[in-house]
Structure 1
Amino acid sequence: MRRPAKGSNRLLAALPPADLALLSPHLKQVSLEQDAVIVRSGDRREYVYFPHSGAISFMLDMPNGATIATAMIGREGALGALSILGPSRSSVTAVVRVGGTASQISVSRFHAAYIGSSAIRDVVQAHTGAILMQLQHVAACNGLHSVEARLARWLLELHDRTEGSVLSVTQGTLSQLLGVRRTTVTQMVAKLRAVGAIRSDQRGLIEIDRGRLEEASCECYRIMRRETDRIVPDEAVTPRLETRGR
């Protein structure tokens, strides 16, 4: 499967100029530094982020200290967009896994624009649908598929949001994403290395062979990619989301 095209945030790119103008004066460009925690579980959400590059994982923190990833977003999504449902605290911890950039806007400014624009409401609805789809597939994948196949899927999702073929990701990070011990990650990395899907070193750099990694992954990766592209089209394919009543 071909990697997604690189470019601006797909949700912002889907907005007609007049609707984007409601947001533009209040958008601030920020850097997403690898391993940075943008919001912690239980924190009040203050900003909405529209990534232009990089990857953010949504981590569920368990009482015993274990973590597992429930979703990952890049330029096809947003962090904090569901704050329009009302003041609330984050149910997940959002961690930058691949560094990049994003447009940041305060929750109050975003809510005001949301109220005044049906196109922005359509974009939020599309984003919500994409996240719900991903949550469902990740839950099914965690219960039905092997750790090796799940590792291949997460690596592909990271690769989709990384320039080049080399990922900077530690086994500790992979352990958090998968919700397994590091020793298990070590074993699964060795299996993927044995079939030529990846090459890794002690510095936490993983070079992937995309074709072989896709063969090692379960069908969940392809389904989620296809459904995300259907729900939130890339501007390289279609410049605007379909909207109702416009």
Structure 2
Amino acid sequence: MQHTENHLIELLPKTVRKRFLALCEPFELVLSAELSVRGTQLSHAYFPRSGFISLVIDIDSHPPLEVGMVGREAMLGSELVLGEAKTPWRAVVQGAGSCWRIEAQVFRKAMEEMPALEDLLQRTLMIRLHQQSLASACERFHPIGQRLARWLLMSQDRAQTDQFHVTQEFISLMLGVRRVGVTKAASDFQKDGLIEYHRGELKVLDRAGLEAESCSCYEADKLLHSELMAMKT
């Protein structure tokens, strides 16, 4: 059965969770919709319940590059914890779904009035900072095949299904590599029976096999998230 609630909201004490949700509104995550623009302040914070969002950096004339991914385990807008901070990336819906949305000013006031919420969101900001550092190192040092396996695993985790729609062109943009490299790595995965891909529809056939092909960053990212979310302040 698929989960239908955001993990961060689930972690809040029951009374705080009820108060917080009363301030939120349901919002649909439409495929390819942009939820934030680089260099501007977010108007809302988003807590995905299903679907997922890519955080994309645009630099000069270079193709866009994915530097993060947000699903039901996290939120879009952790920079709002810092106050009037401008977002450093574009946030693009990569997997359609639903979320809870809360207006930025209301969100900041809620943090002031709910210490448990503020504590939780400070930890999510720390996680985001660590994840960005890990993503930068992964892009620099790990080969395409390992990075593709990691990206597919992360996407499957957030899509909450073995099958999702994605094009090789989109993957190449997210990984910041030429499409021919993605095509070669994906072809190898198909030959090894790890995935099935046809006309934009990708299905994970052997998750354990993909985990074996992935770089260490996938497990490191999961461990980091678990440790920081369990941290007491």
> Which TM-score band (shorter chain)?
over 0.9
CA distance in 1, matches of 2:231, 2:130: 18
Superimposed CA distance per residue, residues 86-117 of structure 1 (whole angstroms, 9 cap, x where no aligned partner): 22322100111111111000000000011112
Identity among equivalent pairs (%): 30
Matched residue, 2:29: 32
Matched residue, 1:6: 3
Q: Give the deviation of 1:224 after TM superposition.
A: 0.8
Q: Give the deviation of 1:227 after TM superposition.
A: 2.0
Q: Give the deviation of 1:122 after TM superposition.
A: 1.0
CA distance in 2, matches of 1:110, 1:175: 35
Q: Give the deviation of 1:52 after TM superposition.
A: 0.9
Given that 2:81 and 2:122 are in contact with CA atoms closer than 8 Å, whether structure 1 keeps it comes out as no
CA distance in 2, matches of 1:113, 1:242: 22
> Of Structure 1 and Structure 2, which has the larger fraction of its residues in helix?
2
Q: Partner letter of residue 163 of structure 2?
A: V
Q: Give the deviation of 1:198 after TM superposition.
A: 1.2
Aligned pairs, number: 232
Matched residue, 2:181: 184
CA distance in 2, matches of 1:123, 1:98: 25
The answer to whether structure 1 residue 212 and structure 2 residue 209 are counterparts is yes
Unpaired runs of 5+ residues, structure 2, are: none
Matches within 5 A, 1:38-187: 38-187=35-184
Matched residue, 1:237: none
Q: Report the TM-score when normalising by structure 2.
A: 0.93
Structure 1 residues 43 and 135: CA distance shift in structure 2, 3 A: same
CA distance in 1, matches of 2:163, 2:21: 34
Given that 2:79 and 2:87 are in contact with CA atoms closer than 8 Å, whether structure 1 keeps it comes out as no
CA distance in 2, matches of 1:118, 1:156: 34
Given that 1:192 and 1:198 are in contact with CA atoms closer than 8 Å, whether structure 2 keeps it comes out as yes
Q: Give the deviation of 1:119 after TM superposition.
A: 0.4
Q: Partner letter of residue 24 of structure 2?
A: L
Q: Partner letter of residue 154 of structure 1?
A: W
Q: Report the TM-score when normalising by structure 1.
A: 0.88
Q: Partner letter of residue 35 of structure 2?
A: I
Correspondence for 1:221 among 218, 223, 233: 218
CA distance in 1, matches of 2:192, 2:138: 22
More RCO (CA 8 Å, sep 6+)? 1
Superimposed CA distance per residue, residues 144-167 of structure 1 (whole angstroms, 9 cap, x where no aligned partner): 110110011000000001233112
Q: Give the deviation of 1:210 after TM superposition.
A: 0.7
Q: Partner letter of residue 201 of structure 2?
A: L
Matched residue, 1:236: none
Given that 2:58 and 2:64 are in contact with CA atoms closer than 8 Å, whether structure 1 keeps it comes out as yes
CA distance in 1, matches of 2:76, 2:191: 37
Q: Give the deviation of 1:70 after TM superposition.
A: 0.9
Unpaired runs of 5+ residues, structure 1, are: 233-240
Given that 1:84 and 1:107 are in contact with CA atoms closer than 8 Å, whether structure 2 keeps it comes out as no
- Which segment drifts farther, 182-191 or 68-77? 182-191
